Amino acid sequence: MSRSVPLRAVVAILGVLAVPAPALAADIGESGFVQCAACHPAAAGQPHGVGPNLHGRFGQAIAGTPGFVFSRALRKREGVWTEAELDRWLADPQAYAPGTKMAYAGLKDPAQRRAVIEYLKTLR
C-alpha cells in the first residue's frame, strides 16, 4: 500500500511528460514519412500502392494487411507490428526479412525511426 502511492504518482508524472513528446515526434515523423509515402498510402480506405496502405497497421499482424501480396520473406515473420519490431524492420529491412520486396535501405537514425513509428501509431 505504501509503495503503490508513489508508483501511481510516478506514472502520473510520466504521463504528463510523455503526452507532448510523442505528439512532437509524430510531427517530425510525418516529415520523415515522406520517404515512405512514395509507395505507401496512409489514409483510411485508400487502395494499396507499391506497398500496402499503413492506416491502422500498428499492433496488427506482420504481413497481414488484407488485399496486399507480401513477399515470401516478410510472410515468414511472425507476430505483430510492435514498436520494437518496427524499429528493427525500418532500420534495415533487408536484414529483417532477407528478400523483401521493399526497396528501401533503411532509416538509420534511431530518433528518425522513433518519430516515424510515433507517426504510424497516429494512423488509426
Q: Does 106 bind other proteins (CB under 8 A)?
A: yes
61: CB partners within 8 A, 6+ apart? 79, 80, 81
What phi and psi, each to the nearest 5 degrees, are found at residue 27? -65, -45
Q: Which stretch binds other proteins (CB under 8 A): 5-13, 16-24, 44-52, 79-87?
A: 44-52
Q: Which stretch binds other proteins (CB under 8 A): 12-20, 45-53, 54-62, 80-88?
A: 45-53
Least CB distance from residue 93 to other proteins, whole Å? 8
Least CB distance from residue 43 to other proteins, whole Å? 12
Record the cell numbers describing residue 65, joined without a space. Answer: 494487411
What phi and psi, each to the nearest 5 degrees, are found at residue 61? -60, 140
Record the cell numbers describing residue 51, joined without a space. Answer: 506497398
Least CB distance from residue 11 to other proteins, whole Å? 36
Tell the residue number behind the cell numbers 524499429, with chain if given: 87
**Size, binding site for other proteins by CB under 8 A:** 25
Q: Does 55 bind other proteins (CB under 8 A)?
A: no
Record the cell numbers describing residue 21, joined without a space. Answer: 513528446
User: Which one of residues 69, 80, 84, 95 is an interface residue with other proteins (CB under 8 A)?
Assistant: 69
Beta-strand ranges (E) seen in the chain are none
- Catalog residues that contact other proteins under the rule CB under 8 A: 31, 34-35, 37-39, 48-51, 68-69, 71-72, 94, 99, 101, 103-109, 112
